[in-house]
Structure 1
């Protein structure tokens, strides 16, 4: 009987995709399964076949084979055992894509420890919060970030900070290059922090090893990955899209994946896409916009057969640019770290019409509807709340949406105070709380406002005890980005005498958003 990877049409997805068929793609079963084995070890056949291609911002290429990663991960797993690491211990690592990154990621999961990837641009406050939340036994980083990492060590001396340099790679070589995994399918494998929620500290989403199986629905029908693809995902593997869709999913199928390391450069990305002969790419909407804005699309040859994007809608001008230079429709996929991908456009399915701007249709086995406030289903074209059937009831996605007559879904904005800018999801509360720590900020309200290049940018309304100025604005921006992340700061600051409040005394962000929308509408007249 054919496996799901052999089917490409939408009709076949509806006819054949089910849980039992997904399990046939793996060596493990519902009792015993290990992500490192499924993604790396079983594909390490001594051939030297490429597992990961890394395009470094400085122009260097790094190609890592399944064999190399498998041996290093096994040696690192033995090293962790020698350090006394127990099943369930957290191993955090703040590393750019590199051999140490993949060795740590997969080595920790083989032992039954839990891998916790952390964004390399976290500032001290953001790092300390996350380390304090997950309590890792070891925090692994590079020499450049070592002092920052040591600043997150608590009074008890935890976590132990380890520098992932050539010395560590040399040290682990004393151990065997094979390792017998110690996990069951339901054991925890990864703690994944979202890039922002309405909480001050984004809650870690906890994934078991069997999450890999469920993930394959998104891989097969959201990114369209199949054996034989040359895949690339420029998103950081510290976040859900880059880790699950850009790294684990393709590797589980034995597909060579690609990624970007260092400060993002759209021209460097296009150079890598050309050089590597990439046929399938999944990226954030902002990656496509930045490539368009570079004006260099005509300088490279592209080989795409499938494209997908996530994080936010793509504007019409960028979609036109994609059609002009890539000659393949860009397929949206919608989901969150918490619920996974639930709406897709089936890249590569010749019998599925991709409608520009649409979120597509449900992943096989998922049920979604758009509801009115009273719980009834909206009519086509009517905006309501996007709901997902999960666990015997309707779960709110906290997004607004609509459907059309053909059953396609369309995103109509966020239902909460999360801000999506250039593909990054940020918390208004977290930014506000950080800015309020500045001596000259008395009150602060943060919202997202429309921006042509980034979709949204962060705007802060500040009540200050001194006169607002360009110098103070830059000081507040630097203050925020140094404590959270390099992308997480207000690009626009407006100084106001007071902020609108709700009856409970909290900043009324909806009123701020409405005021901005009214100003934009008036300016357009």
Structure 2
């Protein structure tokens, strides 16, 4: 194993990291490279070596070895070739985490096709929009989702059932990949709304090399870890950080399949002896609000989160429940992981709520609109230096005097009221500290006097009345400033979320705008 994996410490990373050393994790080179070989086949020598633990919502535990993925993915590679699939063809996979999912995804990449993981909870329109965008030759689905996907013109829909599995037995269990490092391997869709579908983010086989930065310093994966990431592998976090990165290092990973339940997750963390957990912020909130965490015993030594900031109350829950710092990992699907908190580093102080510092070898700044660096604690846009140019992230943030970065929301989450600039994230964080608030989202709405005012949408078991509204307004104003509070409060039963579990403020803004038009 490469020297970079010998320590988690911050100083060690700064003094030992070079881009060239990331290649030491792999057998391929800058010319010939295949993700399926690197993540699966080379680790399959030991037939009992465990690759994935799947905690199914119904209580089942599915244990999948590297050998079983290697053999089944080889059979699928041969099967795809037998159906005329050639290098560069897209193969969409809409299956829950399971042996068929991993075998199909790696089998597609093994034979030179491009794997396209799709979220199993997509409805017909969500599936059709993505299929129309990537034009797969084959779409693999389970029996339950088949009615959603059948009948898409130009795409053959194949149901992965017992009959399909039996047919695979006729194909060989070995397949020799033959791909170049710069061949396309994966199309990944972000968790945007289906009304504004983003184009697929396209990854080559060699892209997994840079991904090791996130594994080393964002999730802190090291050989010997018992790793778990409950995020769906159809999305960036679950695919890149929860699947490809740990498997490439030969580390057993864990995931969740089915309708999410916080108690089922915590039981899996206990039963699997998980030592390294990387999850979406929403999962930690749901564990907290379940009220059941004290029923379980945990062995977690490293813990990370991504997707959106975690509110202060949930950070306290993490500290009390797991006894390790909550390490944020920040990046975008397009540019990768940029800011981390170095989980497991004995010489790195994790500041609660911060995004941490840059991964080794990357320069990150908070900049003013004119491109100059913002001074400490001034909000600007987070930008990354890539190939000599500053790349915008469309995220706002600030840097403190010690060089730690903090998130201040998306650029379109800024609320400007009577000349005051306010962060939706900060307002939400304070609202979440109120003992009667389960979830909260803040947006700016038009106001004839102030231009915009803050409107908060609150989920609470407490009845939403004028008294509760004033209570929340006073609670926020006392903790932020006299002008920084929600002048309007709406009480709702739930907040819209993206498929990846983030609060979907855009959906809230759109619904609010539509309501104002019809009101």
TM over 0.5: yes
For 1:15 and 1:485, locate their aligned partners in 2 and report how far apart those are by CA, in whole Å.
37
* Mapped pair 1:498 → 2:517: yes
- Residue of structure 2 in register with 1:408 after alignment: 404
CA contact under 8 A between 2:78 and 2:172: conserved in structure 1?
yes
For 1:455 and 1:163, locate their aligned partners in 2 and report how far apart those are by CA, in whole Å.
40
Deviations 1:270-298 (A, max 9, x none): 00000000000100001000000000010
Which among 379, 382, 387 is matched to residue 386 of structure 1? 382
* Mapped pair 1:161 → 2:180: no
* 5+ residue gaps, structure 1: 419-446, 462-476, 501-525
> CA, structure 1 residues 490+22, in 2 after alignment: closer, same or farther (shift >3 Å)?
closer
Secondary structure of the structure 2 residue equivalent to 1:206: strand
Q: Which moved more, 1:1-10 or 1:247-256?
A: 1-10
* 5+ residue gaps, structure 2: 415-423, 433-437, 447-492
> CA, structure 1 residues 485+242, in 2 after alignment: closer, same or farther (shift >3 Å)?
closer
For 2:308 and 2:404, locate their aligned partners in 1 and report how far apart those are by CA, in whole Å.
17
> CA, structure 1 residues 316+485, in 2 after alignment: closer, same or farther (shift >3 Å)?
closer
Which among 217, 229, 232 is matched to residue 225 of structure 2? 229
Deviation at 1:310, TM superposition (A): 0.2
Aligned length: 452
CA contact under 8 A between 1:386 and 1:399: conserved in structure 2?
yes
Matches within 5 A, 1:272-311: 272-311=268-307
- Residue of structure 2 in register with 1:517 after alignment: none
Deviation at 1:391, TM superposition (A): 2.1
* Mapped pair 1:359 → 2:355: yes
- Residue of structure 2 in register with 1:264 after alignment: 260
- Residue of structure 2 in register with 1:139 after alignment: 139
For 1:490 and 1:2, locate their aligned partners in 2 and report how far apart those are by CA, in whole Å.
45
CA contact under 8 A between 1:138 and 1:160: conserved in structure 2?
yes
Deviation at 1:497, TM superposition (A): 4.9
The Cα RMSD (Å) is 2.9
Deviation at 1:372, TM superposition (A): 1.1
CA contact under 8 A between 2:354 and 2:406: conserved in structure 1?
yes
CA contact under 8 A between 2:354 and 2:404: conserved in structure 1?
yes
Higher relative contact order (CA 8 A, sep 6+): 1
Deviation at 1:416, TM superposition (A): 3.2
Deviations 1:251-278 (A, max 9, x none): 0000000000000000000000000000
Deviations 1:279-329 (A, max 9, x none): 001000010000000000100000001000000111111111111110111
> CA, structure 1 residues 142+204, in 2 after alignment: closer, same or farther (shift >3 Å)?
same
CA contact under 8 A between 2:229 and 2:255: conserved in structure 1?
yes
Q: Which moved more, 1:236-245 or 1:198-207?
A: 198-207
Deviation at 1:3, TM superposition (A): 1.8
For 1:72 and 1:185, locate their aligned partners in 2 and report how far apart those are by CA, in whole Å.
23
TM-score between both structures, scaled by the size of structure 1: 0.81
CA contact under 8 A between 2:376 and 2:401: conserved in structure 1?
yes
For 2:117 and 2:172, locate their aligned partners in 1 and report how far apart those are by CA, in whole Å.
25
For 2:193 and 2:101, locate their aligned partners in 1 and report how far apart those are by CA, in whole Å.
26
> CA, structure 1 residues 496+113, in 2 after alignment: closer, same or farther (shift >3 Å)?
closer
